[in-house]
Amino acid sequence: MPAVNVAKSINKRRANEQILKNQPLMEDGKLCLCVVHIKELVKKEFDEVVLDFPTKLLKDEEERLRSQVPPSCFAISELTQFYFTKLGIVRLSSKVQMLQNLKVLNLTRNNLKKLPETLTKITTLEDINVSHNDLEQCPLLPSSIVTVDLCSNLIMGISKEFQACNKLDRLILHTNRICSTDAEAFNGCDNLKQLDISHNSFDEFPVCLNRLESLEWLDMSHNSIQTIPEEFVVRNKNIRGLYLAATKIHDMASLRNIAKFELLENLNMNGNGLKKLVDEFENLKWLQQIWLSSNQFTEFPVSLTKIKYLGGIDLNDNEIKVIDDEAIDFGTLARCCVSLELSGNGLQSFPEQLCKFNRMTRLNLSLNSCRSMTKSMAEYFKKFMPQLILETSRSKSYDDGLMLYGNPFGNVMMRCVKAGDLDGIVCAQIQDEQGMDTGKTGILADDVNARMRIIE
């Protein structure tokens, strides 16, 4: 046998082995991918890899094939879950309609450009994932569909493909090229609760969203949308999660409209050029988490201090250089806040009212301009913070603890921060305040009393 043919044979065998290794076998309704079945499913037509479906095997061949093909292969119509990913499929056969018991169809990470209309005939289909393909338009789907993931494709618009999907609950369309939608695109989608259209090319608010009265979770981040219209707020009373990061929404009218979402729990407005919030934000009584990083705030938003269930605030990378302890009452916020991000603001001093935050588990004060802290502040950090997070920590973006790195502290405090020595922070504060640099951090002493004796 020529060397070229031998090499082709070896490569083909390795490819089959890899397919069998990566794909699930027949179990609880999943597809059996024996070698014979693979040959029937994946065909080469005009240099294209096509996902086909086997027709009924001839009776006189059944006995001969039983030794090679598991019995489950002869009952493909009973298949309930079909996972076929990372195989370079460019076309799906219209014979997919044979799978009349299918509930889950996963075709992610292939090269599909469109899906056959016969998908609408699978009346049991509930979950479809065609993410990371080359789809240029939204596919027609059966009315039974509940979850649809079409992210990371080449879709440019939404027409009326989803109007028949009256059971649709979750629709993921992020990272496409969508710039327009039909005004009636979601007519009939009365049960849609989660919609992700982030990372697209919208330059105005999609009017079709006004009809989604059951919507609870909406992500429109990374678009060029400039306003939130009042009609959307009036007709969508159930919004609990609203994500508008890296949009152009910063006008007062839109902020007032956002403040009318009475059930809002999570709001993300990172990177929107915001300079202040409207007073009406204090009416968001169920708000639990707000992200406002990379904006242009010069003052701590006072309206946030009046929300009694607000557990997390992210104000990283703004321009809040001073927080006036006397002008702002943090009493309400101190009783509920567990996470506060104030990194990269140029803060010149840490507000003493932070000592009231007895439930705080994560406090980010890194990369500011604070040169010192009071003794009471150091004692608060030691008592309530679980750890002092190092600048080099790989999990610093989500770990509970205190972050102080990047501030121009005195020498002793600086060594404490670099060593992650939370126990020695009080001693370091006193030494720096009195200008008594012993050359040691508190981590080298036995206990607090020993540290105090060093100073004496």
The predicted structure's pLDDT at residue 54: 54
Closest CA to 378 of 344, 346, 412: 412
User: 196 in helix, strand or coil?
Assistant: strand
Closest CA to 263 of 236, 297, 286, 294: 286
CB 204 within 8 A of CB 182: no
CB 443 within 8 A of CB 417: no
The predicted structure's pLDDT at residue 93: 81
User: What fold characterizes domain 81-422?
Assistant: 3.80.10
Provide DSSP, 137-158. SPPP--TT--EEE--SS---EE
| Domains of the chain by residue range | 81-422
User: pTM for the complete prediction?
Assistant: 0.83
Q: Give phi and psi for 347, each to the nearest 5.
A: -55, 130
The predicted structure's pLDDT at residue 43: 55
Tokens of 350: 């840490």
Q: 401's torsion region: left (phi>0), alpha (psi -120 to 50) or beta?
A: left
- Per-residue tens of pLDDT for the chain, all 456 residues: 444 443 444 444 444 444 434 443 334 444 444 545 555 555 555 555 555 555 444 344 445 544 554 444 445 666 788 888 887 888 888 878 888 888 999 999 999 999 999 999 999 999 999 999 999 999 999 999 999 999 999 999 999 999 999 999 999 999 999 999 999 999 999 999 999 999 999 999 999 999 899 999 999 999 999 999 999 999 999 999 999 999 999 999 999 999 999 999 999 999 999 999 999 999 999 999 999 999 999 999 999 999 999 999 999 999 999 999 889 999 999 999 999 999 999 999 999 999 999 999 999 999 999 999 999 999 999 999 999 999 999 999 999 999 999 999 999 999 999 999 999 999 998 888 887 555 544 443 444 444 444 434
The predicted structure's pLDDT at residue 346: 95
